[in-house]
């Protein structure tokens, strides 16, 4: 397999598999698809994807700088907790008040692309993830510090992330449209996912204070589980 093609599929598979676990952004995209439209959900995903690509680019060209930004990461971690908690409360509010059809935050007047961009920028989880994977690929010489390698890698990542988000977007619509899922029940489920995510993030901040620093210093801890899946 040509090297650039290998880099493309490696980036795409890492990104696709990394997008499948329940998270703030893919669940938010699913809720937008259910309560508004698939088009709005796709715009939201494209906005979040842009921020992810920027973070990947930074992880490729500014690794030493990233390692030193502990205060920035701490601020972003707390911002993520508040945002996810607000999403959970908003989802529960919609579930309790059936006349309110949309999540207050996700149905804000901000264009969905901008909303996705902002929420993704404030989500620091993807920073150590891509920092770790880029480090591993550099170490194994799959990825070299060349512009063509970086560009193909990022294109693959973009397609993989978008495909992963589409699983949630169209899966959410399928549950509502084809399986006659009660939208009120879905709001309870989505609110619970957001609440659990917020609690996990809070636990990481308060109990595992060195979590982000450890991930940046030891990227193999971030990639080990997914790396096993890619080799199965």
The pTM for the full model equals 0.76
What local confidence, expressed as pLDDT, does residue 101 receive?
Answer: 58
* CA-to-CA separations, 195 to 66, 102, 121, in angstroms, rounded: 29, 17, 20
- Residue 228 inside a domain? The answer is no
- Residue 232 inside a domain? The answer is no
For the chain, report the end-to-end CA distance as a whole number of angstroms: 19
What local confidence, expressed as pLDDT, does residue 209 receive?
Answer: 57
Length of the chain: 232
Phi, psi of 199, rounded to the nearest 5 degrees: -65, -40
Alpha-carbon span 59 to 197, nearest angstrom: 25
What local confidence, expressed as pLDDT, does residue 65 receive?
Answer: 62
Provide the Cα torsion 37, 87, 80, 112; round to 10°. 20
- Residue 230 inside a domain? The answer is no
Q: Write out the two tokens for 161.
A: 């992330």
CB 128 within 8 A of CB 215: yes
- Residue 229 inside a domain? The answer is no
What local confidence, expressed as pLDDT, does residue 231 receive?
Answer: 47
What local confidence, expressed as pLDDT, does residue 9 receive?
Answer: 92
Structural domain including 157 reads 3-223
Provide the Cα torsion 199, 201, 207, 210; round to 10°. 180
Mean pLDDT per 10-residue run, the chain (232 residues)? 87 90 86 88 94 85 64 75 84 73 72 92 77 82 87 93 93 74 73 84 71 53 50 48
Alpha-carbon span 21 to 17, nearest angstrom: 8
Question: Per the structure, how many domains does the chain have?
Answer: 1
Alpha-carbon span 104 to 92, nearest angstrom: 11
Alpha helical stretches, state H, 36-146: 38-61, 63-67, 70-96, 112-121, 126-139
- Residue 184 inside a domain? The answer is yes
């Amino acid at each position: 397999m040509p090297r650039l093609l290998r880099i493309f599929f490696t980036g795409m598979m890492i990104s696709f598999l990394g997008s499948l676990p329940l998270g703030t952004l893919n669940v938010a995209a699913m809720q937008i698809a259910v309560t508004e439209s698939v088009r709005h959900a796709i715009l939201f995903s494209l906005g979040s994807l842009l921020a992810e690509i920027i973070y990947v680019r930074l992880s490729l060209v500014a690794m030493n700088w990233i390692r030193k930004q502990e205060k920035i990461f701490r601020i972003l971690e707390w911002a993520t907790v508040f945002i996810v908690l607000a999403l959970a409360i908003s989802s529960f509010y919609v579930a309790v008040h059936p006349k309110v059809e949309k999540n207050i935050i996700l149905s804000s007047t901000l264009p969905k692309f901008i909303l996705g961009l902002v929420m993704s920028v404030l989500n620091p989880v993807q920073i150590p993830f891509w920092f770790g994977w880029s480090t591993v690929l550099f170490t194994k010489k799959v990825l070299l510090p060349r512009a063509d390698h970086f560009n193909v890698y990022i294109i693959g990542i973009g397609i993989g992330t978008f495909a992963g988000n589409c699983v949630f977007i169209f899966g959410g619509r399928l549950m509502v449209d084809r399986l006659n899922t009660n939208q009120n029940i879905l709001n309870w489920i989505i609110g619970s996912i957001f609440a659990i995510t917020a609690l996990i993030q809070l636990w990481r901040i308060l109990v595992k204070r060195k979590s982000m620093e450890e991930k940046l210093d030891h990227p193999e801890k971030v990639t080990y589980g997914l790396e096993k899946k890619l080799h199965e």
